[in-house]
Amino acid sequence: MSTPFWEARWLQGAAPKDLAPTLYEKASRGIHKINNHTTHTPQIRHSKRGDEEGEDGTLLLYAGADDLSTNLERDGSWRGRVRNELSELWADPPAFCRPGASPMKDLFHWEMVIDGPTGSPYEGGMFPLNVDLSNEYPARPPKITFQTEVFHPNINSEGEMVLDIFSGGEGTPALRMDKVLHSIVSVLYDPLLDFSVHGDIANLYKNDIKLYEELATVWTREYSSTPIVSHYPTEGELDHCEMIAAQAALEKAAEKESEKKAAEEESEKKAAENERKEEARLRRLKAEEERERRRKEEEKNETFLQWLWRMLLAFLFRDGP
């Protein structure tokens, strides 16, 4: 019988320091309810500024600088959408969700915190997460990773939570970060056993939920009890992040254009080199054909002379020597 995932983790030295020596001792030594952690959520005054829909449905963006275009078509619309989502997200965060401790410097890579939901074994915990958005968001879902150990059947060893809304590996145009965060909090409450990445933990949840909750509480206290003070981004910070993203997009476009031009020049250089090689090949071929023509002509002339000589000898000695 194989060792359960969570038992093996502890046998490898990852066990909480105050865990009872016997794993199934029901955590009778040292499981204490964690004090509720309350956080103050400041209200952010939200202004859409230039982020509005035009008459044709085109998203009009506020880039944050006069020299940057406010209509960058797809790339700009993507940045504008992300900026709007973040502004609205932190103006009215989903329950138990808040920004991370670090100031926001990148629209597409940022931190956040989930406070353990009340009534769950994760209550009182503070779970820092990293959020990474690709340039295909929302067609491709965000990558969200827990930065601490979490005892949960849907969170893999890399800290990624497996959600049913991402089961196909693709998102939808209707996908929004607030929906994603609602789903994460919901799965902390109620695991998706059909999408489990740890069968042992899923079986424990089904067969002994009390022990499951006790162990989840111990892990929460051990790995996710460090207080985290959130930094709520201001509209100015979001504007600055969008401006940096726009500048990075322009630089990337310029870099791609430079690479394209270099590739075209290299292609032209290779084409010219191939043309020179072809011309040299044709010259060699023509020279070989000329040599062959001369050889055949010489052979023909030699044959004619031999024939003529024979005819002459035959004429001279027609009556005998």
How many domains does the structure of the chain reveal?
Answer: 1
Whether 223 has a pLDDT exceeding 80, the answer reads: yes
Q: Does residue 281 form part of some domain?
A: no
Structural domain of 183 = 27-254
Q: Does residue 315 form part of some domain?
A: no
Q: 192-210, pLDDT tens digit by residue?
A: 998 899 999 999 999 999 9
Q: Does residue 71 form part of some domain?
A: yes
Q: Does residue 108 form part of some domain?
A: yes
Whether 65 has a pLDDT exceeding 60, the answer reads: no
Whether 8 has a pLDDT exceeding 50, the answer reads: no
Q: What percent of the chain has pLDDT over 70?
A: 74
Dihedral (CA of 133, 139, 141, 143) sign: negative
Give 314-319 contacts, CB < 8 A, sequence gap 24+: none
Residues 6+ apart with CB under 8 A from 124: 33, 34, 35, 36, 37, 116, 220, 221, 225
Residues 6+ apart with CB under 8 A from 201: 4, 5, 6, 151, 152, 153, 212
Confidence label for 277 from pLDDT (cuts 50, 70 and 90): very high
Q: Does residue 275 form part of some domain?
A: no
CATH number at residue 191: 3.10.110.10
Q: Does residue 265 form part of some domain?
A: no
Q: Does residue 307 form part of some domain?
A: no
Helix (H) or strand (E) holding 243: helix 235-316
- Mean pLDDT across the stretch 121-143? 90
Q: Comparing C-alpha atoms, which of 186, 198, 139, 261 is closest to residue 6?
A: 198
Q: Does residue 250 form part of some domain?
A: yes
